[in-house]
Amino acid sequence: MNAPDTFVQLLARTRESFPASTKSYITGSRSDLRVPVRDIALTNGEVVSVYDTSGPYTDPAATIDVKKGLQSVRAAWIAERGDTEQYEGRKPVALDDGRQSEDAARLAQLRQEAAALQRQPRRAKAGANVTQMHYAKKGIITPEMEYVALRENGKREWMAQYQQDPAREQRLMGNPMGAMIPKIITPEFVRDEVARGRAIIPANINHPEVEPMAIGRNFLVKINANIGNSAVTSSIEEEVEKLVWAIRWGADNVMDLSTGKNIHTTRDWIVRNSPVPIGTVPIYQALEKVGGVAEDLTWEIFRDTLIEQAEQGVDYFTIHAGVRLAYIHLTAQRRTGIVSRGGSIMAKWCMAHHKESFLYTHFEDICDIMKSYDVAFSLGDGLRPGCASDANDEAQFAELHTLGELTQIAWKHDVQTMIEGPGHVPMHMIQANMTEQLKTCHEAPFYTLGPLTIDIAPGYDHIASAIGAAMIGWMGTAMLCYVTPKEHLGLPDRDDVKQGIIAYKIAAHAADVAKGHPGARARDDALSQARFDFRWQDQFNLGLDPETAKEYHDETLPKDSAKVAHFCSMCGPKFCSMKITQEVREFAAAKGVAEEAALAEGMAAKADEFNRAGGEFYIPIHPAKS
C-alpha cells in the first residue's frame, strides 16, 4: 500500500464507474454550467438518477493528471464578475511546511511536484466583497447558485411513477420540523437562502475546480469526511487517492486536518484535485509554525496562515472564536473537560496570557480576509461535550451564544457562516441542542459531529453516532461530520473511512426522507420495487454500496443466473414466486374466486416468496434446499 505505484493503481481503480452507472450532466443557462449526476440503468429499462459527489474522476471522458490538477469549473464565472484581481500573493516560507520537514533534497522534489499545481492567487479588488452571500444580498443569482439549484433537483422525471398514489404520498408526507423545502429548488430560492444566511455555498475564488454545493436545512443533508496527511508523505497520488476514495462513497465536503510534514505542499495537492469544498482548521498549521507551543501563537502568525490558506483555495475555515476566556472555567467540573483540539489550544492561550482570545478580538479582521476570497466560516465548537454527561451544559451553550453573536458580525460583512456542533448528546437531548442552535444562531447552518448517543461503543462509534446524526439531521442540521469505527482508538484506514461515510450517507438519507425532501424517497421506492420484483442486480446497484451488497449475496449464490432468479440462498429455487403466483391465479380462476381475492392471493403468494427470498424477520439460517 505504501509503494507509490500502488496508489497510482488505487487511484485508477477508483476512477471506475459504479456498476451500471453513467455520469451525465444537466446543462444550465450557459453551456459551461454542467451539473453532474449519476444515472443508474436498471434491468427493466428504467433509469434512476442520483446526486453525484465523485467529480470528474468517474467521468471516462475526463483526463485526470493529479500533477496538473482538475480542470476549472468556475474560473470564467469568477473572472466575469470583474471584482477580483490576480496578484503575486504571499511569499511562501520554509515554515509553511512545518518544522519537521523532510530533508532538503526530498523537500525540493516534493515542491517541484507541487510547482505545476501553483496558480497565481486571486483576491477581491480593493473595497470589493466577493462572497456568494454578498451577491445574494444584492439580488444577484450567480452561476454557483444556479448550479446548486440544478444539483439539488437532479433529474426528477423518473420519480413520477413512484409518486402516483396520492393516498400514499399523503400518508408518507414528511415532517420537516420547521424546514421549508420547496418541491423544486429554483436559483432564486438558492439566492434567497444564501442571502438570509440559512445556506452557504463554500466556494473560494481560488478553488475554481469546485463543483458548487449548498449546505442548509432546506437542502439535502450533506456529509463531511476528514482526511489528513501522513508523517511520511509518499506521493501526491497517495494524498489525492484518499480524497477520491472519500468522494467516491459520497462525501460532500472533505476537511484536510493534516498536521504532519509538508503541510502546505500537501494542501496544494488536495485543493487542486478536489471537486468538493475543502475545509481546514488553520490553527493547526499555525501551531506547527510555533513548534506546538500554544502560548507562542500570535494574531500575526494566525493571520498570515489564513491568507496562506485562502490563497491556496481552502473553502471554509474552522475558527474557534467562541472559546472566550470567561467560559474556560465552566469546563472545570466536566467529566471530560475540553475535547476539541482547537478549543484546547485557544483555552491554553487565553489562560497563559490571561487575555481574551485573539480570534474573538480580531474577529472583524478575520471577516475582512474571508470576504476577500469568499472563504466561509465554520465557527468551531471548542467547548463541545466530550461525553454524554457533559452534553448541553453551560460551557457548551455559552459558547453557542457567542457563535450566534459572531454569526451576526460575519453576516454584517456578508461572510458565509456555518456553526459546528457536538459531539456527544444522548437522544433525548438532541432536540434541545438543535432548538438552541436554531434560535441562537439565527438558522445559520448547523454542522455536527454525530452526535454520539452513548459512550460505550468504542470500535462501533460510527453506529452510535449515526443514530444521533440521523435524528439531528431530521431536526435541522445541514451537514453531518462523519465518525469512523476507529474514533477514540486510532487512525482510520481506507476501509474505516468508507465505513464512516456509508454510515453517514444512511443517516443523511434517513433525515432527508423524514423531512419529506421531495427528491429523497423515490430511490428507496425504486430499490424496494426491484427487491419485490427479484431484480437482484438492480437492488445492488441502487444501494449505497453495490459491491458489498453483491458480495454478500454471492457468498451463497455466486452464479450470474442467480441475479435474475426469483429465489435466493434462503430457500432455493423450488419457490419461484412467478410460478407460484401463476399457480395461485389459475387456482383462483378455477374456483371462481372473486378477482380481488385472486389478486390478493397472488400478492400473498408472491410476497411469501419474496420473504423467503430475503424477507425481513424470519431469516432461517440454512443454505438452499436441494
Q: CA dist 75 to 122, 271, 514, Å?
A: 11, 15, 38
Which of 79, 387, 409, 576 is in the footprint of its own copies by CB under 8 A?
387
Which of 79, 532, 576, 582 is in the footprint of its own copies by CB under 8 A?
532
Q: Map the footprint of its own copies across residues 448-487, applying CB under 8 A.
A: 449-450, 452-460, 462-464, 466-467, 470-471, 474, 481, 483-487
Which of 77, 147, 162, 302 is in the footprint of its own copies by CB under 8 A?
162
Question: Contact between 503 and its own copies (CB under 8 A)?
Answer: yes
Q: Backbone phi, then psi, for 48, in 5-degree steps?
A: -105, 130
Q: CA dist 160 to 106, 163, 189, Å?
A: 57, 5, 23
Question: By CB under 8 A, which span of 8-16, 199-207, 255-263, 303-311 interacts with its own copies?
Answer: 255-263
Q: Is the peptide bond before 451 cis (omega within 30 degrees of 0)?
A: yes
CB of 180 to its own copies, least distance (A): 16
CB of 541 to its own copies, least distance (A): 10
CB 351 within 8 A of CB 328: yes
* CA torsion, ordered 261, 262, 264, 265, to nearest 10 deg: -150
The annotation status of 447 as a binding-site residue, yes or no, is yes
- Going by the DSSP 8-state scheme, the letter that residue 424 receives in this structure is B
The annotation status of 296 as a binding-site residue, yes or no, is no
Which of 9, 188, 556, 564 is in the footprint of its own copies by CB under 8 A?
556
CB of 311 to its own copies, least distance (A): 22
Question: By CB under 8 A, which span of 18-26, 69-77, 438-446, 544-552 interacts with its own copies?
Answer: 544-552
* CA torsion, ordered 351, 352, 357, 358, to nearest 10 deg: 180
Q: Map the footprint of its own copies across residues 2-31, applying CB under 8 A.
A: none
Three-state SS for 195-216 is HCCCEECCCCCCCCCCCCCCEE
Nearer Cβ to its own copies (182/558): 558
CB 217 within 8 A of CB 445: yes
Question: Contact between 607 and its own copies (CB under 8 A)?
Answer: yes
Q: Map the footprint of its own copies across residues 65-124, applying CB under 8 A.
A: 100
The annotation status of 340 as a binding-site residue, yes or no, is yes
CB of 381 to its own copies, least distance (A): 8
Using DSSP, state whether 387 is helix, strand or coil: coil
Number of shown-chain residues binding its own copies (CB under 8 A): 159
Taking residues 197 to 236 in sequence order and writing x for each that binds its own copies by CB under 8 A, - otherwise, the string is -----------------------------xxxxxx-----
The annotation status of 488 as a binding-site residue, yes or no, is yes
The annotation status of 69 as a binding-site residue, yes or no, is no
Three-state SS for 548-612 is HHHHHHHCCCCCHHHHCCCCCCCCCHHHCHHHHHHHHHHHHHHHCCCHHHHHHHHHHHHHHHHHH
The annotation status of 154 as a binding-site residue, yes or no, is no
Residue-wise DSSP of 494-540:
HHHHHHHHHHHHHHHHHHHHHHT-TTTTHHHHHHHHHHHTT-HHHHH
The annotation status of 147 as a binding-site residue, yes or no, is no
Q: Backbone phi, then psi, for 190, in 5-degree steps?
A: -60, -45
Give which of 540, 507, 516 is closest to 526, Cα–Cα.
Answer: 540
Q: Is the peptide bond before 174 cis (omega within 30 degrees of 0)?
A: no
CB of 569 to its own copies, least distance (A): 5
Question: By CB under 8 A, which span of 84-92, 143-151, 433-441, 600-608 interacts with its own copies?
Answer: 600-608
The annotation status of 350 as a binding-site residue, yes or no, is no
Which of 281, 369, 400, 438 is in the footprint of its own copies by CB under 8 A?
281
The annotation status of 569 as a binding-site residue, yes or no, is no
Question: What are the cell numbers at 121?
Answer: 492567487
Question: Contact between 529 and its own copies (CB under 8 A)?
Answer: yes
Question: What are the cell numbers at 209?
Answer: 475546480
Beta strands 34-41 and 21-27: pairing type? Answer: antiparallel
Which of 172, 180, 564, 578 is in the footprint of its own copies by CB under 8 A?
172
Nearer Cβ to its own copies (143/228): 228
CB of 65 to its own copies, least distance (A): 24
Beta strands 34-41 and 215-216: pairing type? Answer: unpaired
The annotation status of 494 as a binding-site residue, yes or no, is no
Question: Contact between 427 and its own copies (CB under 8 A)?
Answer: yes
Question: Contact between 284 and its own copies (CB under 8 A)?
Answer: yes
CB of 384 to its own copies, least distance (A): 8
CB of 495 to its own copies, least distance (A): 12
Query: Is 155 exposed, middle or buried, given 0-12, 13-18 or 19+ CB atoms closer than 10 A?
Result: middle
Nearer Cβ to its own copies (59/420): 420
**What b/e readout covers 33-47, taking b as 16+ CB neighbours within 10 angstroms?**
bebbbbbbebeeeee
Give which of 335, 273, 282, 322 is closest to 304, Cα–Cα.
Answer: 282
Nearer Cβ to its own copies (141/452): 452
CB 207 within 8 A of CB 271: yes
Gap between the Cα atoms of 5 and 291, Å rounded: 33
Which of 35, 199, 441, 542 is in the footprint of its own copies by CB under 8 A?
542
The annotation status of 543 as a binding-site residue, yes or no, is no
Which of 119, 517, 553, 566 is in the footprint of its own copies by CB under 8 A?
553
Question: Contact between 525 and its own copies (CB under 8 A)?
Answer: yes
Q: Which residue in the block uniquely carries the three cell numbers 480542470?
A: 71
Taking residues 322 to 351 in sequence order and writing x for each that binds its own copies by CB under 8 A, - otherwise, the string is ------xx-xxxxxxxxxxxxxxx-xx--x
Question: Contact between 545 and its own copies (CB under 8 A)?
Answer: yes
Q: Which amino acids are annotated as binding site for Zn(2+), given as ranges?
A: 424, 488
Q: Which residues are annotated as a binding site for substrate?
A: 226, 255, 284, 320, 340-342, 381-384, 420, 447
Which segments are annotated as binding site for [4Fe-4S] cluster? 568, 571, 576
